[in-house]
Structure 1
Amino acid sequence: MNETVAKKLQILSDAAKYDVSCASSGSNRANRSKGIGNGVACGICHSFTDDGRCVSLFKILMTNHCIYDCAYCINRRSNDRPRATFTPQEIVDLTIGFYRRNYIEGLFLSSGVIKSPDHTMERMVSIAKKLRTEENYNGYIHLKAIPGASGMLIHEAGIWADRLSVNMEIPTEPNLKKLAPEKNYPDIISPMGQIRDSILVAKEERKKYRKAPRFAPAGQSTQLIVGASPETDRQIILLSSGLYKKQNLKRVYFSGYLPVNEYDKRLPAISRPPLVRENRLYQSDWLMRFYRFKAEEILDEDQPFLDLDVDPKLGYALRNMHLFPVDINKADYEMILRVPGIGVQSAQKIIRARKHRRLTMLHLKKLGIVMKRAKYFISTNELPASCSDWEPRRLKHKLLSEMNAKFKKTEYTQLKLFTDFKPVLPTLH
């Protein structure tokens, strides 16, 4: 690697760390022609940096030059910072070189917008096309679809890439206009709809013709920035729920706002990203995707923000004590899923096990239920209803006390193991 490319790599890999929507599950691109790489449906095993970012993909910006001046973006045109641009061939060579050395298992390519959305998208598409046709690369490729690019380029991107993503960034249009005046919602929603329709058409064609071309087989995703604008958690959850239903998104990613442009008075005055809030939103997203929760159940108009002290599922139970306790031997599957301490697999095990006999607390423990939490919200033969004896605030305090005690005990054990450990230092020769 020459010095110029190495310098570009340093600048543009660092600039790419702010984009978190880079998962790689869902693709199944088999290698049948003695090419390079093999995309598999189970996804790529991820490793993480110190700040929790995924690095198993070659995560890079094509350029950090940008014609836009978004308030929240480190690469905004008014910022005085080192700039660089890769040529398409440089990214192709780096991807193949890193893949052959087993450094990466796929490519995640995003970019600032140079000259115009069409010009930027055309260069990104050419990179994916070169990898597929010239290098015979069959590994995973995730491309960013640039809002405002032509439908023809978006379609071609989906032919070569495994996943496409269009970042919404700001959850509501008025705040997007305030923080990124040069962007607009129609340019974001339009490619989402096009990608959704093209995926559906490709799936139908492959039912008739086995060799019909795939279109973004790993689906599409988006990213929302949390904390840069004053939207409530309820607004964000309702938006993500709507995107799943209307646009058939695979994932909605949440990124806590990083105060990289503190001089801009349009942005909130915070010193660190709201990571706990980001985590609670991911938990809420998990409830909608796997626990059959509706967005309206997680938060309502009276409580528009998530409780940062407890997870959303426990928060729901504490706000709806009238629905509990749940009779574990009679309740339906969806109600069992709403019990704190019971996960999806455990709920399925309960449904299967109770066909053969009535379940007791001992059975539930053997099934892996977290009884320290669940016991307040369920009833069995020998476990009477107990949540009715607790006022929600008192029960929340008790559960938090138990969790804190467990945390302190774990922390003490880890500290003791560390202090008792006497390492054997290597002898220098």
Structure 2
Amino acid sequence: MAQLDLREKLEILADAAKYDASCASSGTSKRKSSGGKGLGSTEGMGICHAYAPDGRCISLLKILLTNSCVFDCHYCINRKSSNVRRARFTAQEVVRLTLDFYRRNYIEGLFLSSGIIRSPDYTMEQIVEVARSLREDHDFRGYIHLKTIPDADPGLIHQAGLHADRLSINVELPTVAGLARLAPEKSAPRIEGAMGDLKREIEDSGDARKRYRSAPKFAPAGQSTQMIVGADAATDRDIVGRAAGLYGRFGLRRVYYSAFSPIPDASAVLPLQRPPLIREHRLYQSDWLMRFYDYSPGEVADAADTATGMMPLDIDPKLAWALKHRDSFPVDVNTAPRQALLRVPGLGVKAVDRILVSRRWRRMTLADVARLTVSVKKLKPFLITSDWRPTLLADRADLRPLVAPPAKQMELFAA
């Protein structure tokens, strides 16, 4: 095999990393540089853009250490039997790339994952060495997210957490049956065991830092995971339940959803087409309902179709839930509690908080509410204001098409 230069490796391994969606830097804090000499803080190969909760766009160098792998997972383009061009970085090549991109102000951090080479421990050692060298040899103060390997030695995972802001372990597929069928070399109990170990280390570190300010930080931005949507028979109701369980048991910061994408020389057990991209979007919306809108997992799952277990594609899950629960509406914007206002389609968390402040000083009209949201059309059947009451609108049998998004908006997702 011909020797590849650094740019060729970057082209191959940045492209191979695009299938990993769990790449965001929310939840971390800026690192201070000792003595003011540290490196610190964006387009090119391997650069991805993630968004923090406050809206900041954060650029990361997103690459694999290698796309070679000893595993043969059916859904993975980098599986052992896949006919793809292979490449591998050394640890110092990743360090060099990260520093070069950082100095040019292209990126604010690194997201590093890898296929498994030789053994889980050997691969994890190389990943840890990248983070160690950046922090200790080069005083790198940028963000680091490492994808960890469940089967690796716990001591290596511990070292990774001391250098990285966030660690993640992919559960891969929503169901244990799906994982056993499509990735028989991987074990759901081992994956969840590793996630439980991470949770305990993160909690122990937090407790230690409350008592001793000098105690080392361990993955201060927490842990996340990713699951592939559409590669197996899991319904949206299954996926929502699985995500809720992961949040509750392992204290995850994020669950990421990645729509299955057909790959070259695909296994015969995989679907021939990818699921609609809008399905992935609806799952993220469902996730936000649990995380920010005080919906229980059961309420979110209730938005899915009773027969198929799938979220409707033409409307968002919040609107789907509202249409199923007409008896909960309309809600009086001037008297309703926060939880009831959060269930009004079209009202976001910031809009609800502003309503709660504003109504202390005046009775709110429909025009007042309209100024806090993108469109008042979706709101009108579900809301009462001082000058508006949807007397007959909320009971109309044809309400759904009246509040559904325009067809052109749906076409954007279909494309």
Q: Considering the TM-score relative to the shorter chain, is it more than 0.5?
A: yes
The reply to whether residue 134 of structure 1 matches residue 108 of structure 2 is: no
What corresponds to 2:301 in structure 1? 299
**Cα distance between partner residues in 2 of 1:96 and 1:178:** 41
Comparing 229-238 with 326-335, which one deviates more in the overlay?
326-335
Shift of 1:93: 1.2
Q: Residue 117 of structure 1 aligns to which amino acid in structure 2?
A: P
Specify the alignment match of 1:289 in structure 2.
291
Aligned to 2:382: 377
Task: Specify every segment of 5 or more residues in structure 2 that has no aligned partner in the other structure, as ranges.
Answer: 42-46, 51-56
Please tell me whether residue 321 in structure 1 is matched to residue 326 in structure 2: yes
Distance 1:326 1:342 in 2: 12
Residue 336 of structure 1 aligns with an amino acid whose one-letter code is: L
State how far apart, in whole Å, the 2-side matches of 1:62 and 1:274 are.
30
Closer/same/farther in 2, CA of residues 33 and 245 from structure 1, 3 Å limit: farther
Of the three residues 365, 370, 374, the one matched with 2:370 is: 365
- Structure 1 residue 56 displacement after superposition: 2.3
Question: Over aligned residue pairs, what C-alpha RMSD do you find?
Answer: 2.3
Relative distance call for 1:372 and 1:406 in structure 2 (3 A) is: farther
Deviation larger for 177-186 or 200-209 = 200-209
2:272 alignment partner, one of 269, 272, 276: 269
Secondary structure at the aligned position of 1:33 is classed as: helix
**Is 1:4 the equivalent of 2:5?**
yes
Amino acid at match of 1:132: R
Percent identical among aligned pairs is 48
Deviation at 1:366, TM superposition (A): 3.8
Moved more, 364-373 or 242-251: 364-373
Q: Which residue of 2 aligns with 1:331?
A: 336
Distance 1:178 1:83, change over 3 A: same
Question: CA shift at 1:379, angstroms?
Answer: 1.4
Q: Which residue of 2 aligns with 1:418?
A: none
Q: Which has the larger radius of gyration?
A: 1
CA distance in 1: counterparts of 2:177 and 2:392, whole angstroms: 43
Deviation at 1:203, TM superposition (A): 1.1
Give the equivalent residue in structure 1 for 2:166.
163
Question: In 2, are the aligned partners of 1:222 and 1:253 still within 8 Å (CA)?
Answer: yes
Q: Secondary structure at the match of 2:6?
A: helix
Which residue of the partner structure matches residue 255 of structure 1?
Answer: 258
Residues 185 and 387 of structure 1: CA distance in aligned 2, closer, same or farther (over 3 Å): farther
**Residues 189-198 or 356-365, more deviating:** 356-365
- CA shift for structure 1 position 46: 6.2
Q: 3-state SS of the aligned residue for 1:318? A: helix
- What is aligned with 1:207? 210
Going from structure 1 to structure 2, the CA distance change for 1:316 and 1:206 (only over 3 Å counts) comes to: same
2:36 matched residue in structure 1:
34
Q: Mean Cα displacement is larger for which, 295-304 or 232-241?
A: 295-304
Q: Which moved more, 1:228-237 or 1:186-195?
A: 186-195
Pick one of 282, 301, 312 that aligns with 2:317: 312
CA distance in 2, matches of 1:98, 1:361: 50
Amino acid at match of 1:353: S
- TM value normalised by structure 1: 0.87
Question: What secondary structure, in the 3-state scheme, does the structure 2 residue paired with 1:143 have?
Answer: strand
Asked if residue 233 in structure 1 is aligned to residue 236 in structure 2, the reply is yes
Which residue of structure 2 aligns with residue 348 of structure 1? 353
Counterpart pick for 1:87 among 83, 86, 90: 90
Structure 1 distance, partners of 2:251, 2:355, is 31
- 1:99 pairs with one of 97, 102, 107: 102
Give SS of 1:57's match.
strand
Q: Contact conserved, 2:16 with 2:64, CA < 8 A, in 1?
A: yes
2:162 and 2:40 map into 1 onto residues whose CA distance is: 16
Determine if contact 1:35/1:138 at 8 Å carries over to the other structure: no
- Displacement, 1:322? 1.2
Give the number of equivalent residue pairs.
395
State the Cα deviation string for residues 30-86 of structure 1 (Å, max 9, x = none).
2223343348xxxxx9648xxxxx992111111111010000000000112211111
Q: Distance in 2 between matches of 1:380 and 1:152?
A: 59
CA distance in 1, matches of 2:328, 2:320: 13
Give, in angstroms, the shift of residue 404 of structure 1.
Answer: 4.0
Deviation at 1:145, TM superposition (A): 0.7
Q: Is the 8 A contact 2:241 2:301 kept in 1?
A: no
Kept after mapping to 2: 8 A contact 1:325/1:386: no
**In structure 2, the residue corresponding to 1:255 is in which secondary structure?**
strand
Of 75, 78, 89, the match for 2:78: 75
What amino acid is the match of 1:171? P
Judged with a 3 Å threshold, the aligned counterparts in structure 2 of structure 1 residues 306 and 203 are, in CA distance, closer, same or farther, namely same
Letter in 2 for 1:6: R
CA distance in 2, matches of 1:389, 1:12: 53
Bigger mean CA offset, 252-261 vs 360-369: 360-369
Tell me the distance in 2 between the aligned counterparts of 1:119 and 1:396.
55
CA 1:275–1:405 in 2, change beyond 3 Å: closer, same or farther? closer
- Report the Cα distance in structure 2 between the residues aligned to 1:262 and 1:344, rounded to whole angstroms: 45
2:224 to 216, 221, 224: 221
CA contact (8 A) 2:64 2:112 kept: yes
